[in-house]
């Protein structure tokens, strides 16, 4: 059987950014767009947290925002179905998870194959999930970093697009390591989005090729 190949579209794209917190990755992506480095616009910034700092930042930047309270829905699937409807209305090409602290349902992931990216503060497949820097320090790894990957129902395990490595020092704390990694996140996330809309990403199985 021949392998299914996905090639990202070369076009001016419409993006959605999903966040639950401070939104520094959202800011880095938006800054890159404003500098003309990414051929896309952010059509909506979505959050499951009404008070997310990133949502406030998006409003200050005059971007369209959407907040939906999970408590208003009877199930996770119902919630995601409403979000999907909103995104389909807009015609979103790419969804960037940027500190979105809610796991997407498999149903959601299936609606947007190779159209959802996430940033993770470790060198996946090491240290998926939460409390990532704590785990890295406890393991005594000498290097950690950041990973941009496509999202599949298997949390933090989708095809890897870009990674960046940082050293881990003996006197690091979760805070100092997070800070070093975050700088790399702000560099590689916009880069991955740029490559996507340049039509340069090709996914074959679990590998992403950059052309
Ligand atoms: C980042 O560390 C990212 O890797 C993780 O959540 C954090 C979000 O930070 N997925 P911010 O809201 O983008 O500042």
Closest residue to atom 2 of ligand 1, CA basis: 121
Residue 93 CA to ligand 1 centre (angstroms): 22
- Positions in the chain short of pLDDT 50: none
pLDDT of the residue at 130: 97
Q: Which atom of ligand 1 is nearest to the CA of 181?
A: 2
Closest residue to atom 6 of ligand 1, CA basis: 99
What residue ranges of the chain are covered by domains with CATH 3.40.50.170?
13-112, 118-211
In three-state secondary structure terms, 102 is coil
pLDDT of the residue at 1: 52
In three-state secondary structure terms, 6 is strand
pLDDT of the residue at 165: 99
pLDDT of the residue at 88: 98
Ligand 1 neighbours (beta carbon < 6 A): 19, 21-25, 54, 98-99, 119-121, 182, 185
Residue 98 CA to ligand 1 centre (angstroms): 6
Q: Which of 53, 104, 119 to probe ligand 1 with, by most ligand atoms within 8 A of CB? A: 119
Sheet with strand 94-97: strands edge to edge: 5-7, 201-204, 207-210, 160-167, 143-150, 116-120, 94-97, 13-19, 40-47, 65-67
Answer CATH for 13-112 from 3.40.50.720, 1.10.1270.20, 1.25.40.10, 3.40.50.170 = 3.40.50.170
Residues 106-138 pLDDT 10s: 999 999 999 999 999 999 999 999 999 999 999
Residues with active-site annotation: 120
Cβ atoms of 24 and 182 closer than 8 Å: yes
Closest residue to atom 14 of ligand 1, CA basis: 24
Class of the CATH domain delimited by 118-211: alpha beta
pLDDT of the residue at 3: 73
Closest residue to atom 10 of ligand 1, CA basis: 99
pLDDT of the residue at 2: 60
């Amino acid at each position: 059987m021949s392998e299914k190949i996905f090639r990202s579209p070369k076009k001016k794209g419409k993006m959605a950014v999903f966040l639950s917190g401070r939104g520094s990755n959202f800011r880095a992506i938006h800054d890159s767009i404003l500098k003309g480095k990414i051929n896309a616009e952010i059509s909506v910034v979505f959050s499951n947290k009404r008070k997310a700092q990133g949502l406030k930042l998006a409003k200050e930047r005059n971007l369209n925002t959407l907040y939906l309270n999970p408590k208003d829905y009877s199930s996770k699937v119902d919630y995601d179905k409403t979000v999907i409807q909103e995104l389909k209305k807009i015609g979103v090409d790419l969804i960037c998870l940027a500190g979105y602290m809610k796991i997407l349902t498999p149903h959601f992931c299936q609606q947007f194959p190779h159209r959802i990216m996430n940033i993770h503060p470790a060198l996946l497949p090491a240290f998926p999930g939460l409390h990532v820097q704590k785990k890295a320090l406890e393991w005594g790894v000498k290097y950690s970093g950041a990973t941009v990957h496509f999202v599949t129902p298997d949390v933090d395990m989708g095809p890897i697009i870009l990674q960046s490595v940082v050293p881990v020092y003996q006197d690091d704390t979760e805070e100092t390591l997070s800070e070093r990694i975050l700088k790399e996140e702000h560099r590689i996330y916009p880069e991955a989005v740029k490559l996507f809309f340049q039509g340069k990403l090709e996914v074959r199985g679990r590998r992403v090729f950059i052309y």
